[in-house]
Amino acid sequence: MQNNTIKNIESFGNDIKVITINLSNKYPDDAFIFRAKEQILLAVDLFPVYVIDTVGYYLYEYRDQIRKMEDNIEHEEFFLDNSYNDDINNSKNSDTKELVKYLIPKLKECAKKMPTQEKNEYKKLVIKLFYTYVDYLIFSNRNH
């Protein structure tokens, strides 16, 4: 069981890194995104359990929408139309709030400009992140 948990944590962290680096590459002159990338990559390396617990929590909260996207890869309206204000406002970490407030519109902008095939690859990555988190919960005997 422990080996599976470690694999889930590593896989989750690697996928978060892919998304983070790709976003940073799309905005190479954005200093805020560069700093966010550095912070996220460092967090994945130093605190991978914190990253999977934190990001996974929100993925799980949106599980119904993620499953709809899995059934129909074109399903994206919820994610692009949602402001996520309730989640942001309920965050207790002010640094995270500011980071998320800045990154969500950038992610949406990026998604709207992406070719369909590339966008679908990211959707598949989000679906994979969700199921990696679920497996992590199962193998580590954690509850959401």
Where are the strands (E) in 1-144, listed by range? none
Distance CA 5, CA 51 (A): 14
What pLDDT is stored for residue 82 in this prediction? Answer: 66
Residue 84 Ramachandran class (φ > 0 left, ψ -120 to 50 alpha, else beta): left
Query: Considering only CA atoms, which of 32, 93, 88, 19 is closest in space to residue 58?
Result: 88
Dihedral sign from CA coordinates of 126, 27, 115, 106: positive
pLDDT in tens, 6-22: 999 999 999 999 999 99
pLDDT in tens, 39-71: 999 999 999 999 999 889 888 988 988 888 888
pLDDT in tens, 87-128: 666 666 666 667 777 777 787 788 788 888 888 888 889 899
Residue ranges of domains in the chain: 2-139
Query: What is the pTM (predicted TM-score) of this model?
Result: 0.84
